[in-house]
Structure 1
Amino acid sequence: MATNNFSDYLYFKGLLGDFSGVCSRCNIGEVTKKYDGKSRNGENTYFWRCNYHKCRKKISLKRDSFFEKSQLSCQDVFILICGFVYKFPQYTIHQTYKKFASHTLVDWYNFCRDVCSDILLIDNKKIGGPGHVVEIDESKFGKRKYDRGDKVDGVWVFGGIDRQTRETFFQVVKHRSAETLIPILVEFVHPETTIISDCWKAYKNIKNQFFQHLTVNHSIHFVNPEDRSVHTNSIESQWHVLKRTVIPAFGTRKHMYDSYFSNYCVRKRYLEGSECQLKAFLKLINRVYPLKTCQTPSTTAATHTSPGPSISPGPSRPSKVRKKIVSAPPEDSDFSDYEY
Protein backbone atom coordinates (compact mmCIF):
# COMPACT_ATOMS: atom_id res chain seq x y z
CA MET A 1 0.00 0.00 0.00
CA ALA A 2 1.59 3.24 -1.11
CA THR A 3 2.03 5.76 1.68
CA ASN A 4 0.83 8.75 -0.36
CA ASN A 5 -2.28 6.92 -1.61
CA PHE A 6 -3.05 5.78 1.92
CA SER A 7 -2.79 9.25 3.47
CA ASP A 8 -4.91 10.62 0.60
CA TYR A 9 -7.55 8.05 1.44
CA LEU A 10 -7.58 9.05 5.12
CA TYR A 11 -7.85 12.70 4.12
CA PHE A 12 -10.69 12.38 1.61
CA LYS A 13 -12.69 9.99 3.79
CA GLY A 14 -12.67 12.27 6.82
CA LEU A 15 -10.22 10.39 9.06
CA LEU A 16 -7.81 13.32 8.71
CA GLY A 17 -9.23 16.82 8.98
CA ASP A 18 -9.46 19.60 6.41
CA PHE A 19 -8.40 22.86 8.07
CA SER A 20 -8.20 24.92 4.88
CA GLY A 21 -9.98 28.27 4.85
CA VAL A 22 -9.93 31.44 6.90
CA CYS A 23 -7.74 31.25 9.99
CA SER A 24 -9.73 31.18 13.23
CA ARG A 25 -7.01 33.08 15.11
CA CYS A 26 -6.47 36.15 12.95
CA ASN A 27 -9.56 36.00 10.68
CA ILE A 28 -7.35 37.37 7.89
CA GLY A 29 -5.01 34.71 6.56
CA GLU A 30 -5.79 31.57 4.61
CA VAL A 31 -4.85 28.21 6.10
CA THR A 32 -3.19 25.94 3.55
CA LYS A 33 -1.20 22.75 3.60
CA LYS A 34 2.57 23.19 3.69
CA TYR A 35 5.54 20.88 3.20
CA ASP A 36 8.10 21.30 5.98
CA GLY A 37 11.10 20.14 3.94
CA LYS A 38 11.88 17.21 6.20
CA SER A 39 11.79 13.50 5.55
CA ARG A 40 11.50 10.78 8.16
CA ASN A 41 11.93 7.16 7.15
CA GLY A 42 11.21 8.09 3.54
CA GLU A 43 7.91 9.84 4.31
CA ASN A 44 7.33 13.51 3.57
CA THR A 45 5.84 15.59 6.38
CA TYR A 46 3.18 18.27 6.06
CA PHE A 47 1.20 20.61 8.30
CA TRP A 48 -1.47 23.31 8.04
CA ARG A 49 -0.21 26.91 8.19
CA CYS A 50 -1.83 30.36 8.13
CA ASN A 51 -0.23 32.48 5.38
CA TYR A 52 -0.68 35.80 7.22
CA HIS A 53 2.83 36.91 8.26
CA LYS A 54 1.71 38.21 11.69
CA CYS A 55 -0.14 35.03 12.57
CA ARG A 56 1.54 31.97 11.01
CA LYS A 57 -0.65 29.60 13.02
CA LYS A 58 0.46 26.00 12.62
CA ILE A 59 -1.91 23.01 12.87
CA SER A 60 -0.96 19.35 12.92
CA LEU A 61 -2.50 17.14 10.25
CA LYS A 62 -3.56 14.73 13.00
CA ARG A 63 -5.43 17.32 15.03
CA ASP A 64 -8.70 16.06 16.57
CA SER A 65 -8.30 12.71 14.81
CA PHE A 66 -7.84 9.20 16.17
CA PHE A 67 -4.15 9.53 15.22
CA GLU A 68 -3.56 12.61 17.38
CA LYS A 69 -0.91 12.54 20.14
CA SER A 70 1.01 9.72 18.46
CA GLN A 71 4.33 9.94 16.64
CA LEU A 72 3.55 6.79 14.69
CA SER A 73 2.60 7.30 11.08
CA CYS A 74 -1.07 6.90 10.25
CA GLN A 75 -0.17 3.87 8.17
CA ASP A 76 1.46 2.21 11.20
CA VAL A 77 -1.61 3.01 13.32
CA PHE A 78 -3.80 1.55 10.61
CA ILE A 79 -1.82 -1.71 10.79
CA LEU A 80 -2.54 -1.88 14.52
CA ILE A 81 -6.24 -1.16 13.91
CA CYS A 82 -6.34 -4.05 11.43
CA GLY A 83 -4.66 -6.29 13.99
CA PHE A 84 -7.26 -5.37 16.60
CA VAL A 85 -10.26 -5.81 14.29
CA TYR A 86 -9.12 -9.18 12.97
CA LYS A 87 -7.92 -10.40 16.39
CA PHE A 88 -4.24 -10.78 15.54
CA PRO A 89 -2.28 -11.59 18.73
CA GLN A 90 -0.01 -8.77 19.77
CA TYR A 91 3.06 -11.00 19.80
CA THR A 92 2.38 -11.92 16.16
CA ILE A 93 2.37 -8.25 15.12
CA HIS A 94 5.47 -7.64 17.22
CA GLN A 95 7.33 -10.47 15.47
CA THR A 96 6.14 -9.43 12.01
CA TYR A 97 6.75 -5.68 12.43
CA LYS A 98 9.83 -5.24 14.58
CA LYS A 99 9.32 -1.47 14.80
CA PHE A 100 6.38 -1.82 17.20
CA ALA A 101 7.34 -1.98 20.86
CA SER A 102 5.24 -4.20 23.10
CA HIS A 103 3.90 -1.25 25.11
CA THR A 104 2.90 0.49 21.85
CA LEU A 105 0.81 -2.53 20.87
CA VAL A 106 -0.83 -2.63 24.30
CA ASP A 107 -1.65 1.08 24.16
CA TRP A 108 -3.25 1.02 20.72
CA TYR A 109 -5.30 -2.10 21.42
CA ASN A 110 -6.54 -0.31 24.54
CA PHE A 111 -7.40 2.78 22.45
CA CYS A 112 -9.45 0.59 20.10
CA ARG A 113 -11.32 -0.91 23.06
CA ASP A 114 -11.96 2.65 24.28
CA VAL A 115 -13.71 3.29 20.95
CA CYS A 116 -15.94 0.29 21.65
CA SER A 117 -16.81 1.62 25.12
CA ASP A 118 -17.62 5.08 23.74
CA ILE A 119 -19.87 3.74 20.98
CA LEU A 120 -21.99 1.85 23.49
CA LEU A 121 -22.36 5.06 25.50
CA ILE A 122 -23.23 7.07 22.37
CA ASP A 123 -25.89 4.69 21.11
CA ASN A 124 -27.19 3.76 24.57
CA LYS A 125 -29.33 1.05 22.97
CA LYS A 126 -31.41 -1.09 25.30
CA ILE A 127 -31.82 -4.78 24.62
CA GLY A 128 -35.13 -6.60 24.82
CA GLY A 129 -38.56 -5.13 24.24
CA PRO A 130 -42.16 -6.33 23.82
CA GLY A 131 -42.21 -10.08 23.25
CA HIS A 132 -38.51 -10.44 24.06
CA VAL A 133 -36.96 -12.54 26.81
CA VAL A 134 -33.74 -11.46 28.52
CA GLU A 135 -31.83 -13.82 30.78
CA ILE A 136 -29.73 -12.19 33.50
CA ASP A 137 -27.10 -13.53 35.86
CA GLU A 138 -23.91 -12.57 37.66
CA SER A 139 -20.56 -14.34 37.58
CA LYS A 140 -17.15 -14.02 39.19
CA PHE A 141 -14.16 -13.47 36.91
CA GLY A 142 -10.74 -14.27 38.28
CA LYS A 143 -8.72 -17.20 39.54
CA ARG A 144 -8.29 -19.24 42.68
CA LYS A 145 -5.71 -17.92 45.11
CA TYR A 146 -2.53 -19.94 44.58
CA ASP A 147 -4.68 -22.40 42.57
CA ARG A 148 -6.03 -23.82 45.83
CA GLY A 149 -9.47 -23.88 47.41
CA ASP A 150 -12.76 -22.51 46.12
CA LYS A 151 -12.30 -18.80 46.84
CA VAL A 152 -11.92 -16.77 43.64
CA ASP A 153 -9.86 -13.58 43.63
CA GLY A 154 -11.43 -11.43 40.93
CA VAL A 155 -14.38 -9.21 40.03
CA TRP A 156 -18.14 -9.74 39.86
CA VAL A 157 -19.78 -9.14 36.50
CA PHE A 158 -23.50 -8.61 35.97
CA GLY A 159 -24.87 -9.37 32.50
CA GLY A 160 -27.79 -10.36 30.34
CA ILE A 161 -28.62 -11.71 26.90
CA ASP A 162 -31.66 -11.28 24.64
CA ARG A 163 -32.79 -14.73 23.48
CA GLN A 164 -34.23 -13.40 20.23
CA THR A 165 -31.48 -11.02 19.03
CA ARG A 166 -28.52 -12.47 21.00
CA GLU A 167 -27.59 -8.93 22.05
CA THR A 168 -25.85 -8.68 25.39
CA PHE A 169 -24.77 -6.30 28.13
CA PHE A 170 -22.11 -6.75 30.82
CA GLN A 171 -21.09 -4.54 33.71
CA VAL A 172 -18.45 -4.97 36.40
CA VAL A 173 -19.99 -4.44 39.84
CA LYS A 174 -18.56 -4.13 43.33
CA HIS A 175 -21.61 -5.55 45.05
CA ARG A 176 -24.47 -7.85 44.05
CA SER A 177 -27.08 -5.97 46.05
CA ALA A 178 -30.42 -4.85 44.64
CA GLU A 179 -29.28 -1.22 44.93
CA THR A 180 -26.45 -2.02 42.49
CA LEU A 181 -28.03 -4.51 40.07
CA ILE A 182 -31.53 -3.08 39.53
CA PRO A 183 -30.37 0.36 38.23
CA ILE A 184 -28.01 -1.36 35.79
CA LEU A 185 -30.83 -3.58 34.58
CA VAL A 186 -33.10 -0.58 34.08
CA GLU A 187 -30.33 1.20 32.13
CA PHE A 188 -29.64 -1.65 29.69
CA VAL A 189 -32.99 -3.49 29.30
CA HIS A 190 -36.28 -2.27 27.82
CA PRO A 191 -39.08 -2.09 30.43
CA GLU A 192 -41.50 -4.17 28.29
CA THR A 193 -39.19 -7.19 28.53
CA THR A 194 -39.71 -10.54 30.22
CA ILE A 195 -36.81 -11.17 32.61
CA ILE A 196 -35.63 -14.66 33.57
CA SER A 197 -33.17 -15.12 36.42
CA ASP A 198 -32.26 -17.41 39.28
CA CYS A 199 -33.62 -16.84 42.78
CA TRP A 200 -30.90 -14.48 44.00
CA LYS A 201 -32.45 -12.24 46.66
CA ALA A 202 -31.46 -9.00 44.90
CA TYR A 203 -33.87 -9.86 42.05
CA LYS A 204 -37.07 -10.07 44.09
CA ASN A 205 -38.29 -6.56 43.12
CA ILE A 206 -37.56 -6.84 39.38
CA LYS A 207 -41.25 -7.46 38.68
CA ASN A 208 -41.96 -3.85 39.66
CA GLN A 209 -39.73 -2.53 36.88
CA PHE A 210 -40.38 -4.89 33.96
CA PHE A 211 -43.23 -6.61 32.13
CA GLN A 212 -42.70 -10.03 33.72
CA HIS A 213 -40.17 -11.76 35.93
CA LEU A 214 -39.73 -15.54 35.84
CA THR A 215 -37.31 -17.49 38.03
CA VAL A 216 -35.62 -20.87 38.20
CA ASN A 217 -34.28 -22.28 41.50
CA HIS A 218 -30.74 -23.45 40.73
CA SER A 219 -30.39 -25.15 44.08
CA ILE A 220 -33.02 -27.67 42.92
CA HIS A 221 -32.92 -27.70 39.09
CA PHE A 222 -31.49 -25.78 36.12
CA VAL A 223 -34.77 -25.75 34.15
CA ASN A 224 -38.13 -24.91 35.68
CA PRO A 225 -40.11 -28.19 35.56
CA GLU A 226 -43.41 -26.33 35.27
CA ASP A 227 -42.23 -24.39 32.20
CA ARG A 228 -39.27 -25.79 30.26
CA SER A 229 -38.65 -22.39 28.61
CA VAL A 230 -37.73 -20.85 31.97
CA HIS A 231 -33.97 -21.29 32.32
CA THR A 232 -30.76 -19.26 32.18
CA ASN A 233 -28.74 -21.56 29.94
CA SER A 234 -28.07 -18.83 27.36
CA ILE A 235 -26.40 -16.43 29.77
CA GLU A 236 -24.54 -19.30 31.43
CA SER A 237 -23.06 -20.24 28.05
CA GLN A 238 -22.05 -16.60 27.54
CA TRP A 239 -20.05 -16.69 30.77
CA HIS A 240 -18.22 -19.73 29.46
CA VAL A 241 -17.38 -17.98 26.17
CA LEU A 242 -16.24 -14.79 27.90
CA LYS A 243 -13.99 -16.58 30.37
CA ARG A 244 -12.51 -18.82 27.68
CA THR A 245 -11.95 -16.42 24.78
CA VAL A 246 -12.60 -12.76 25.66
CA ILE A 247 -10.71 -12.10 28.88
CA PRO A 248 -6.96 -12.88 28.65
CA ALA A 249 -5.85 -15.57 31.04
CA PHE A 250 -2.97 -13.51 32.43
CA GLY A 251 -2.04 -9.88 32.98
CA THR A 252 -5.52 -8.31 32.79
CA ARG A 253 -6.09 -5.63 35.40
CA LYS A 254 -9.49 -5.46 37.05
CA HIS A 255 -10.25 -1.93 35.84
CA MET A 256 -9.82 -3.13 32.23
CA TYR A 257 -12.57 -5.75 32.34
CA ASP A 258 -15.31 -3.34 31.23
CA SER A 259 -13.38 -2.45 28.06
CA TYR A 260 -13.06 -6.14 27.14
CA PHE A 261 -16.80 -6.63 27.61
CA SER A 262 -17.48 -3.52 25.48
CA ASN A 263 -15.23 -4.96 22.78
CA TYR A 264 -17.23 -8.20 22.82
CA CYS A 265 -20.60 -6.42 22.63
CA VAL A 266 -19.50 -4.10 19.82
CA ARG A 267 -18.18 -7.00 17.75
CA LYS A 268 -21.49 -8.82 18.14
CA ARG A 269 -23.62 -5.74 17.42
CA TYR A 270 -21.66 -3.86 14.72
CA LEU A 271 -18.86 -5.96 13.22
CA GLU A 272 -20.06 -9.55 12.92
CA GLY A 273 -22.32 -9.90 9.93
CA SER A 274 -21.06 -6.69 8.28
CA GLU A 275 -19.66 -6.80 4.76
CA CYS A 276 -16.25 -5.70 5.99
CA GLN A 277 -15.44 -5.57 9.70
CA LEU A 278 -12.60 -3.10 9.14
CA LYS A 279 -14.87 -0.63 7.33
CA ALA A 280 -17.46 -1.01 10.07
CA PHE A 281 -14.89 -0.24 12.78
CA LEU A 282 -13.55 2.78 10.88
CA LYS A 283 -17.08 4.17 10.84
CA LEU A 284 -17.19 3.78 14.62
CA ILE A 285 -13.90 5.68 14.90
CA ASN A 286 -15.42 8.43 12.77
CA ARG A 287 -18.28 8.77 15.21
CA VAL A 288 -16.10 8.88 18.33
CA TYR A 289 -13.43 11.17 16.81
CA PRO A 290 -15.23 13.64 14.50
CA LEU A 291 -13.00 16.23 12.93
CA LYS A 292 -13.14 19.98 13.55
CA THR A 293 -11.91 22.81 11.33
CA CYS A 294 -10.15 26.07 12.09
CA GLN A 295 -12.71 28.17 10.21
CA THR A 296 -14.64 30.99 11.86
CA PRO A 297 -18.40 30.39 12.29
CA SER A 298 -19.28 33.11 9.78
CA THR A 299 -16.79 32.06 7.10
CA THR A 300 -17.01 29.26 4.59
CA ALA A 301 -13.74 27.47 4.01
CA ALA A 302 -12.14 27.34 0.61
CA THR A 303 -12.42 23.99 -1.15
CA HIS A 304 -9.31 21.90 -0.74
CA THR A 305 -8.29 20.33 -4.04
CA SER A 306 -4.73 19.19 -3.48
CA PRO A 307 -4.00 15.56 -2.53
CA GLY A 308 -3.88 14.58 1.10
CA PRO A 309 -0.60 14.75 2.96
CA SER A 310 1.67 11.99 4.14
CA ILE A 311 2.00 11.51 7.88
CA SER A 312 5.42 11.24 9.46
CA PRO A 313 6.23 8.36 11.81
CA GLY A 314 8.09 8.49 15.06
CA PRO A 315 9.54 6.06 17.56
CA SER A 316 7.90 7.27 20.73
CA ARG A 317 5.02 5.73 22.64
CA PRO A 318 1.51 7.11 21.92
CA SER A 319 -0.04 9.18 24.64
CA LYS A 320 -2.64 7.53 26.86
CA VAL A 321 -4.62 10.79 27.04
CA ARG A 322 -7.06 10.76 24.12
CA LYS A 323 -9.78 13.25 23.25
CA LYS A 324 -13.23 11.81 22.56
CA ILE A 325 -16.10 13.78 21.04
CA VAL A 326 -19.55 12.42 20.31
CA SER A 327 -20.92 13.03 16.85
CA ALA A 328 -22.64 11.43 13.88
CA PRO A 329 -20.49 9.92 11.08
CA PRO A 330 -19.89 11.89 7.85
CA GLU A 331 -22.50 11.09 5.25
CA ASP A 332 -19.93 10.21 2.56
CA SER A 333 -17.81 7.93 4.74
CA ASP A 334 -18.90 4.68 3.16
CA PHE A 335 -15.36 3.29 2.93
CA SER A 336 -16.41 1.41 -0.19
CA ASP A 337 -13.86 2.55 -2.77
CA TYR A 338 -10.58 1.52 -1.21
CA GLU A 339 -8.95 -1.89 -1.02
CA TYR A 340 -7.34 -2.80 2.27
Structure 2
Amino acid sequence: MSAQAALLSLRSFNLFSGWPEVASMTKDEFDDYLAARGLFWKNCPCPNCHEPRRITHEISESGEPIRFKFECNKRKCKASRLFVKVGLLKDTFFEGLHCDRKKRFLFSFLYVTSSMKVEEMARNVEVDPNTCVQWGQWIRDVMAENFNNPTIQIGGVGTIVQIDETNIVKRKHNVGRMASSSWRTSEN
Protein backbone atom coordinates (compact mmCIF):
# COMPACT_ATOMS: atom_id res chain seq x y z
CA MET A 1 0.00 0.00 0.00
CA SER A 2 1.45 3.37 -1.00
CA ALA A 3 1.74 6.20 1.52
CA GLN A 4 -1.03 8.15 -0.18
CA ALA A 5 -3.37 5.14 -0.26
CA ALA A 6 -2.61 4.45 3.40
CA LEU A 7 -3.53 7.99 4.41
CA LEU A 8 -6.66 7.86 2.25
CA SER A 9 -7.70 4.69 4.09
CA LEU A 10 -8.11 6.86 7.20
CA ARG A 11 -10.95 8.71 5.44
CA SER A 12 -13.09 5.58 5.64
CA PHE A 13 -12.40 5.22 9.38
CA ASN A 14 -15.49 5.69 11.56
CA LEU A 15 -16.43 5.03 15.16
CA PHE A 16 -18.82 2.18 14.39
CA SER A 17 -16.67 0.04 12.12
CA GLY A 18 -13.11 1.19 12.81
CA TRP A 19 -12.92 2.03 16.49
CA PRO A 20 -13.88 -1.38 17.97
CA GLU A 21 -11.08 -2.96 15.95
CA VAL A 22 -8.58 -0.31 17.07
CA ALA A 23 -9.73 -0.40 20.71
CA SER A 24 -9.05 -4.14 20.94
CA MET A 25 -5.46 -3.80 19.67
CA THR A 26 -2.44 -4.05 21.94
CA LYS A 27 0.06 -1.16 22.02
CA ASP A 28 2.36 -2.90 19.53
CA GLU A 29 -0.51 -3.76 17.17
CA PHE A 30 -1.75 -0.16 17.33
CA ASP A 31 1.76 1.13 16.59
CA ASP A 32 1.89 -1.19 13.55
CA TYR A 33 -1.56 0.10 12.51
CA LEU A 34 -0.29 3.70 12.69
CA ALA A 35 2.95 2.80 10.89
CA ALA A 36 1.01 1.16 8.05
CA ARG A 37 -0.84 4.45 7.57
CA GLY A 38 2.28 6.61 7.64
CA LEU A 39 1.59 8.21 11.04
CA PHE A 40 4.40 6.41 12.84
CA TRP A 41 7.96 5.40 11.93
CA LYS A 42 8.61 1.76 11.07
CA ASN A 43 12.33 2.33 10.87
CA CYS A 44 14.69 5.27 10.90
CA PRO A 45 17.97 5.20 8.95
CA CYS A 46 21.16 6.33 10.62
CA PRO A 47 22.39 9.65 9.12
CA ASN A 48 25.97 8.33 9.09
CA CYS A 49 25.82 4.74 7.78
CA HIS A 50 22.30 4.96 6.25
CA GLU A 51 21.35 1.57 7.68
CA PRO A 52 18.18 1.06 9.75
CA ARG A 53 18.64 1.68 13.46
CA ARG A 54 17.50 -0.78 16.12
CA ILE A 55 14.67 0.09 18.48
CA THR A 56 15.94 0.20 22.07
CA HIS A 57 14.20 1.06 25.33
CA GLU A 58 14.69 1.56 29.04
CA ILE A 59 12.97 -0.57 31.67
CA SER A 60 10.77 1.13 34.29
CA GLU A 61 10.68 0.20 37.97
CA SER A 62 7.58 -1.92 37.32
CA GLY A 63 9.48 -3.88 34.64
CA GLU A 64 7.70 -2.40 31.60
CA PRO A 65 9.68 -1.02 28.65
CA ILE A 66 9.63 2.80 28.42
CA ARG A 67 11.33 5.54 26.37
CA PHE A 68 11.63 3.75 23.06
CA LYS A 69 14.17 5.16 20.61
CA PHE A 70 15.97 4.34 17.40
CA GLU A 71 19.66 3.75 18.07
CA CYS A 72 22.64 2.89 15.88
CA ASN A 73 25.21 0.88 17.83
CA LYS A 74 28.03 0.96 15.29
CA ARG A 75 31.28 2.32 16.67
CA LYS A 76 31.92 4.64 13.72
CA CYS A 77 28.44 6.16 14.06
CA LYS A 78 28.83 6.80 17.78
CA ALA A 79 32.25 8.38 17.17
CA SER A 80 30.92 10.68 14.43
CA ARG A 81 28.89 12.72 16.96
CA LEU A 82 25.81 12.59 14.75
CA PHE A 83 22.45 11.81 16.31
CA VAL A 84 22.68 8.06 16.81
CA LYS A 85 19.70 8.06 19.20
CA VAL A 86 16.37 9.43 18.03
CA GLY A 87 13.09 9.21 19.92
CA LEU A 88 10.50 6.85 18.48
CA LEU A 89 7.94 9.66 18.17
CA LYS A 90 10.33 12.28 16.73
CA ASP A 91 8.77 14.22 13.81
CA THR A 92 5.42 12.42 14.12
CA PHE A 93 1.93 13.56 15.04
CA PHE A 94 2.48 12.04 18.49
CA GLU A 95 5.72 13.87 19.36
CA GLY A 96 5.59 15.39 22.85
CA LEU A 97 2.74 13.07 23.81
CA HIS A 98 2.28 12.24 27.47
CA CYS A 99 -0.68 9.87 27.31
CA ASP A 100 -1.97 6.79 25.53
CA ARG A 101 -1.68 7.04 21.73
CA LYS A 102 -5.12 5.49 21.29
CA LYS A 103 -6.71 8.28 23.33
CA ARG A 104 -4.91 10.94 21.28
CA PHE A 105 -5.93 9.21 18.04
CA LEU A 106 -9.57 9.01 19.17
CA PHE A 107 -9.55 12.64 20.30
CA SER A 108 -8.11 13.86 16.99
CA PHE A 109 -10.77 11.86 15.11
CA LEU A 110 -13.58 13.27 17.28
CA TYR A 111 -12.16 16.79 17.05
CA VAL A 112 -11.98 16.79 13.27
CA THR A 113 -15.20 14.91 12.45
CA SER A 114 -17.72 15.84 15.14
CA SER A 115 -19.15 18.94 16.73
CA MET A 116 -19.09 17.64 20.30
CA LYS A 117 -18.57 19.93 23.24
CA VAL A 118 -15.29 19.71 25.11
CA GLU A 119 -16.95 18.01 28.08
CA GLU A 120 -18.44 15.29 25.84
CA MET A 121 -15.10 14.63 24.16
CA ALA A 122 -13.37 14.51 27.55
CA ARG A 123 -15.91 11.95 28.75
CA ASN A 124 -15.51 9.80 25.59
CA VAL A 125 -11.72 9.91 25.63
CA GLU A 126 -11.56 9.62 29.44
CA VAL A 127 -9.33 12.64 30.06
CA ASP A 128 -9.73 15.96 31.86
CA PRO A 129 -11.61 18.72 29.94
CA ASN A 130 -8.58 21.03 30.34
CA THR A 131 -6.48 18.40 28.56
CA CYS A 132 -9.01 18.35 25.71
CA VAL A 133 -8.74 22.13 25.40
CA GLN A 134 -4.94 21.89 25.16
CA TRP A 135 -5.11 19.07 22.60
CA GLY A 136 -7.65 21.04 20.57
CA GLN A 137 -5.34 24.05 20.52
CA TRP A 138 -2.44 21.83 19.44
CA ILE A 139 -4.50 20.33 16.58
CA ARG A 140 -5.58 23.84 15.47
CA ASP A 141 -1.91 24.88 15.45
CA VAL A 142 -0.97 21.87 13.31
CA MET A 143 -3.80 22.57 10.85
CA ALA A 144 -2.97 26.30 10.66
CA GLU A 145 0.69 25.51 10.00
CA ASN A 146 -0.33 23.16 7.20
CA PHE A 147 -2.67 25.69 5.57
CA ASN A 148 -0.27 28.62 5.91
CA ASN A 149 2.61 26.78 4.24
CA PRO A 150 1.17 25.18 1.10
CA THR A 151 3.60 23.30 -1.09
CA ILE A 152 4.06 24.74 -4.55
CA GLN A 153 4.86 22.40 -7.39
CA ILE A 154 7.18 23.79 -10.03
CA GLY A 155 6.66 22.42 -13.51
CA GLY A 156 4.48 19.37 -13.96
CA VAL A 157 4.25 16.03 -15.69
CA GLY A 158 6.59 15.95 -18.67
CA THR A 159 7.96 19.43 -17.95
CA ILE A 160 11.68 19.93 -17.48
CA VAL A 161 12.48 22.68 -15.01
CA GLN A 162 15.90 24.28 -14.64
CA ILE A 163 16.46 26.46 -11.62
CA ASP A 164 19.30 28.97 -11.37
CA GLU A 165 20.30 30.32 -7.97
CA THR A 166 22.15 33.55 -7.39
CA ASN A 167 23.31 34.99 -4.08
CA ILE A 168 23.37 38.78 -4.26
CA VAL A 169 25.53 40.37 -1.58
CA LYS A 170 26.04 44.06 -0.95
CA ARG A 171 29.22 44.79 0.98
CA LYS A 172 30.20 48.20 2.15
CA HIS A 173 33.97 48.58 1.80
CA ASN A 174 34.39 44.89 2.83
CA VAL A 175 34.54 45.95 6.49
CA GLY A 176 32.42 45.65 9.58
CA ARG A 177 29.40 43.52 10.09
CA MET A 178 27.98 40.56 8.21
CA ALA A 179 26.83 41.38 4.72
CA SER A 180 23.12 41.19 4.04
CA SER A 181 22.44 38.66 1.34
CA SER A 182 19.48 37.84 -0.82
CA TRP A 183 18.81 34.67 -2.79
CA ARG A 184 17.16 34.96 -6.20
CA THR A 185 15.83 32.01 -8.14
CA SER A 186 14.55 31.91 -11.69
CA GLU A 187 12.94 29.25 -13.82
CA ASN A 188 14.02 28.57 -17.37
| TM-score normalized by the length of structure 1 | 0.31
User: 5+ residue gaps in structure 2?
Assistant: 1-22, 152-188
Partner of 2:56: 34
Counterparts of 1:140-159 in structure 2, within 5 Å, are none
Shift in CA distance, 117/33, structure 1 to aligned 2, threshold 3 Å: same
Shift in CA distance, 76/32, structure 1 to aligned 2, threshold 3 Å: same
* Amino acid across the alignment from 2:135: W
Q: Does 1:69 find its partner at 2:96? A: yes
Shift in CA distance, 90/39, structure 1 to aligned 2, threshold 3 Å: farther
* CA distances 1:261-300 after superposition (whole Å, capped 9, x unpaired): xxxxxxxxxxxxxxxxxxxxxxxxxxxxxxxxxxxxxxxx
The more displaced of 71-80 and 88-97 is 88-97
Tell me how many residue pairs correspond in the alignment: 121
Per the TM alignment, residue 57 of structure 1 is displaced from its structure 2 partner at its CA by: 2.7
Within the candidate set 41, 49, 71, 1:49 is matched to 71
Within the candidate set 55, 70, 90, 2:118 is matched to 90
Within the candidate set 131, 156, 164, 1:104 is matched to 131
* CA distances 1:138-162 after superposition (whole Å, capped 9, x unpaired): xxxxxxxxxxxxxxxxxxxxxxxxx
Within the candidate set 5, 16, 36, 2:40 is matched to 16
State the secondary structure of the residue aligned to 1:36: strand
Shift in CA distance, 12/95, structure 1 to aligned 2, threshold 3 Å: closer
Shift in CA distance, 53/102, structure 1 to aligned 2, threshold 3 Å: farther
Shift in CA distance, 94/30, structure 1 to aligned 2, threshold 3 Å: closer
Partner of 2:30: 6
Is the 8 Å Cα contact of residues 103 and 125 (structure 2) preserved in structure 1? Answer: no
Within the candidate set 85, 91, 98, 1:58 is matched to 85
What value does the CA root-mean-square deviation take over the aligned residues?
A: 3.3
State the secondary structure of the residue aligned to 2:69: strand
Shift in CA distance, 46/62, structure 1 to aligned 2, threshold 3 Å: same
Per the TM alignment, residue 96 of structure 1 is displaced from its structure 2 partner at its CA by: 3.7
Q: Which has the higher contact order (CA 8 A, sep 6+)?
A: 1
Distance 1:45 1:8 in 2: 17
* Amino acid across the alignment from 1:47: K
Shift in CA distance, 30/79, structure 1 to aligned 2, threshold 3 Å: closer
Distance 1:36 1:14 in 2: 25
Distance 2:140 2:84 in 1: 34
User: 5+ residue gaps in structure 1?
Assistant: 125-340
Is the 8 Å Cα contact of residues 46 and 61 (structure 1) preserved in structure 2? Answer: yes
Structure exhibiting the larger radius of gyration computed from Cα positions: 1
State the secondary structure of the residue aligned to 2:90: coil
* Amino acid across the alignment from 2:118: Q
Counterparts of 1:1-340 in structure 2, within 5 Å, are 1=23, 2=25, 3-21=27-45, 23-24=46-47, 26-27=48-49, 31-38=53-60, 46-53=68-75, 55=78, 57-85=84-112, 86-98=114-126, 100-123=127-150
Is the 8 Å Cα contact of residues 36 and 47 (structure 1) preserved in structure 2? Answer: no
| TM-score normalized by the length of structure 2 | 0.51
Distance 1:92 1:110 in 2: 17
Distance 2:131 2:92 in 1: 18
State the secondary structure of the residue aligned to 1:94: helix
